[in-house]
Amino acid sequence: MFDWLKNGRAFKLGQQAGELVSEEIDRYMAERVIPAARCFVGVFDETLTRLWDEPPSPPNPSGRLKFEYVDFNENLKNFKEEMN
């Protein structure tokens, strides 16, 4: 029924348009998405390596959390003294 479309110019133009869109998507992926993904994985890998290789250290809280951490340490000292 649609044989006339395959022989016509519209079919060839549709194929060319599809190929151009597909090529443009491939180019965009190769130029933008893949390098961005590699950079993200690289940063993630560096962070994990740094965290794994660093010696253990006490937390360094800031702001409100810092006060809660200081209070916790003081309460812990008091608790240890009371236990003795």
Domain ranges of the chain: 3-83
Pairwise CA distance, residues 38 & 26, whole Å: 17
Q: How many residues does the chain have?
A: 84
Question: Has this prediction a pTM greater than 0.85?
Answer: no
Residue 79: pLDDT over 80 = no
Q: What is the Cα 60 distance to its own chain's centre?
A: 25
Residue 37, pLDDT score: 83
Q: How far apart are the first and last CA of the chain?
A: 95
- The token duo for 57 is 């250290």
Residue 63: pLDDT over 80 = no
